[in-house]
Amino acid sequence: MPPLSKKDFKKLPQWDFEDVYNQDAPPRQTTCAQSLRNSQDESFRKAFLPNIRLFLHKDNINMSEWNRLSHFNNPFGFMEYKYDGRMNGAAITGYEEDVGSRTSVYVHTAHSITTSLYVFRKYGYISAPHDESIKYVLIPEGMRDFNWLEGLIKGERVAGGPYINRRPRTYYSGQYNESRFYVLHQDFLRYVRNRFIKSPNLNATSWAIVRPTNGAFALFLALHTCDTVS
């Protein structure tokens, strides 16, 4: 199908499959009595999908999925694309009593991992967290993130976009490992927006730039992978 354009819509378009998401079977089992999966809050239970697909899988890379996701703007899909833990600036130094000194998961975008070096330097941030065995999670915010991802996986310079000629692997301080690198699924991002943080601004002409923050996505990722979150 030809690419849809955001400028053709005055507000968030609604499709009959808007609230349909990839899900994994079976859902992760838990033995924790305090698990959020055992919540008795009726509104939370109604919205919560314990087996929502969190990350992109190899079987998601096909024309059928591309056509489905092309109905949704970035970061929730591929509209206008042609078919060809911690997040952001995780300042730790001086805040160990509040946030600890070890990072297990780092949630980021290509923009946040590059600009944090400058924006958060005054808070002691000198590089993205790179603890041994750390897991990195990328939010696919736009095409620039896929350009970044291609360079990262290949161990090459970024071939196009705003980060052209940069070497993504240098930003992970030697801790990049394909087996510990994840990309959030667009369905999960859309699910978080639709079921938990649906802004009235989605009905305005600026709808295409309205999305939950990186911190919100990180929180809901934790809610879906951890028994308890504090």
- The pLDDT of residue 1 is 65
Neighbouring C-beta atoms of residue 48, cutoff 10 Å? 18
Same domain, 77 and 61: yes
Same domain, 91 and 77: no
pTM of the full structure: 0.85
Same domain, 93 and 71: no
pLDDT in tens, 130-162: 889 999 999 999 999 999 999 999 999 999 999
Same domain, 24 and 66: yes
- The pLDDT of residue 96 is 44
Count: domains in the chain = 2
pLDDT at 94 exceeding the cut of 50: no
Is residue 80 one of the residues assigned to a domain?
yes
> pLDDT averaged over the chain?
87
For residue 50, the enclosing domain spans 1-84+185-211
